[in-house]
Amino acid sequence: MTTPAKSGATLTKDAAPGEILLKVTGLQKHFPIKKGLLQRQVGAVRAVDGIDFEVRAGETLGVVGESGCGKSTMGRLITRLLEPTAGKVEFEGKDITHLGVGQMRPLRRDVQMIFQDPYSSLNPRHTIGTIVSAPFKLQGVEPEGGVKKEVQRLLSVVGLNPEHYNRYPHEFSGGQRQRIGIARALALNPKLVVADEPVSALDVSIQAQVVNLLDDLQAELGLTYVIIAHDLSVVRHVSDRIAVMYLGKIMELADRDQLYKSPMHPYTKALLSAVPVPDPSRKSAKSERILLKGDVPSPISPPSGCRFHTRCWKATQICTTTEPPLKELRPGQRVACHHPENFADQAPQDVVLLSAAKEAAEGVADAVLAESAATSAAVAAEVEATAAASADGAKDGAAEQK
């Protein structure tokens, strides 16, 4: 495979691997709900409701969560296809939150999006040659050797026959169409690619091929990805870090291995329990599945406090009144929870078991509840022992000084 031609100064990769490429602070998108003849605003869909994260050059950040939790809206905000209601988006250190269409033009080359549905995202009346060459025309870029040659090269990069340049989208399968979408996204040699559920419309057998293609292209071209999926199994193999979203918020953001091995947010734990485990030693895995009761509440009026409290089996009084901040509880693992799993309780004095939690606990296997209680107790004992040891140490130190 060859690398797309670098034509123009903006195509140089500025951020070194590991440096922050994109930074998002307090990002919000509220869609107004209007009613009546006067179209008065009567409320808002709080699709994205204050999120903070960063994407480092060369990494893949996976974003997962149930339908309607704001993943696509987040993707469109960071690619500036939507105007944020509040918060800040910085790309390579530059504030791009409210750039106008003209000011965004140079940035459009650096940030590209791949869409979920390869059927509706390609214009059926255009040949694939026209579709993949559109970014060059829009940006007024003339690649070395001409547009046609470059488009044919891009088609072969994504595993398509360059001779099919003059064919129409309906002549291709779903997987091939998604490859066309990928070729279009790569045309201008972007730095950041946001892929919104790139494989969810495809057959399971084709999904892995497309995910592997994205992975290969990343290694080859030094790309940075944000890959959105509603299933943790899709992003598992390609992500370096994973953000778990619920009702417009990030609940947990952690290094991939840590998140799978030792999830700290009850919601992450529930999502993971739904992922099939190909491990015969965990024969009880099926019965350990956590069934989340009820639907995701409406983003028009999300629950008070922790917005997961209506479905959480660990919820206590504080969860209904105080929103837990997203805190780094372990290196590389940020969690928004008062009573995290596999960690010392953040609000141990608050032990009132709410009726909602009692009901939610019915959806959780006894083995999971027992394990959860055991790890909490073990961590609490460890914390106590460490505190006692350091208190003793301090006393000894004071005695020595006398």
Ligand X SMILES: Nc1ncnc2c1ncn2[C@@H]1O[C@H](COP(=O)(O)OP(=O)(O)OP(=O)(O)O)[C@@H](O)[C@H]1O
Smallest gap from residue 283 Cβ to ligand SF4 (A):
28
Does residue 67 belong to the site contacting ligand X (CB under 6 A)? yes
User: Which of these, 105, 172, 102, 99, lies nearest to 132 by C-alpha position?
Assistant: 172
Among 73, 121, 178, 342, binds ligand X (CB under 6 A): 73
Q: Tokens 């208190």 identify what position? A: 391
Q: Which does 67 bind (CB under 5 to 8 A by kind): ligand X, ligand SF4, Mg ion, none?
A: ligand X
Q: In 159-239, which ranges are E strands?
A: 192-196, 224-229
Does residue 43 belong to the site contacting ligand X (CB under 6 A)? no
Please tell me the distance from the alpha carbon of residue 337 to that of residue 183, in angstroms, as a whole number. Answer: 41
**Count of residues near ligand SF4 by CB under 6 A:** 13
Taking the least distance from each CB to ligand SF4, the nearer of 87 and 266 is: 266
Closest residue by beta carbon to Mg ion: 72
Does residue 121 belong to the site contacting Mg ion (CB under 5 A)? no
CA angle 266, 267, 273 (to 5 degrees): 90
Does residue 248 belong to the site contacting ligand SF4 (CB under 6 A)? no
Contact between residue 57 and residue 21 where contact means Cβ atoms under 8 Å apart:
yes
Q: One-letter amino acid identity for 302?
A: P
Please tell me the distance from the alpha carbon of residue 141 to that of residue 292, in angstroms, as a whole number. Answer: 50
Taking the least distance from each CB to ligand X, the nearer of 69 and 122 is: 69
Region near ligand SF4 per CB under 6 A, out of 224-232, 292-300, 309-317, 393-401 = 309-317
With a CB cutoff of 8 Å and minimum separation 6, the contacts of 258 are 330, 332, 333
- Coil, strand, or helix at residue 30? strand
Does residue 205 belong to the site contacting ligand X (CB under 6 A)? no
Q: Which does 159 bind (CB under 5 to 8 A by kind): ligand SF4, Mg ion, ligand X, none?
A: none
101-110 vs 128-139: helix crossing angle, rounded to 10: 120
Region near Mg ion per CB under 5 A, out of 71-79, 137-145, 336-344, 362-370 = 71-79
Whole-angstrom Cα Rg for the chain? 24
Residue 270 burial (CB count, 10 A): 22
Residue 154, both tokens: 């891009």
Taking the least distance from each CB to ligand SF4, the nearer of 84 and 324 is: 324
Smallest gap from residue 370 Cβ to ligand SF4 (A):
17
Distance (Å) of CA 50 to CA 88, 249, 259, 305, 363: 10, 6, 22, 14, 29
Considering only residues 253-272, where is the footprint of ligand SF4 by CB under 6 A?
Answer: 265-266
Region near ligand X per CB under 6 A, out of 5-13, 61-69, 185-193, 331-339 = 61-69
Taking the least distance from each CB to ligand SF4, the nearer of 239 and 372 is: 372
Among 28, 60, 72, 112, binds Mg ion (CB under 5 A): 72
Residue 167, both tokens: 């064919």
Among 176, 324, 329, 343, binds ligand SF4 (CB under 6 A): 324
**By the criterion CB under 6 A, which residues form the site for ligand SF4?**
265-266, 306, 308-309, 312, 314-315, 319, 324, 337-339
- Which positions touch Mg ion (CB under 5 A)? 72
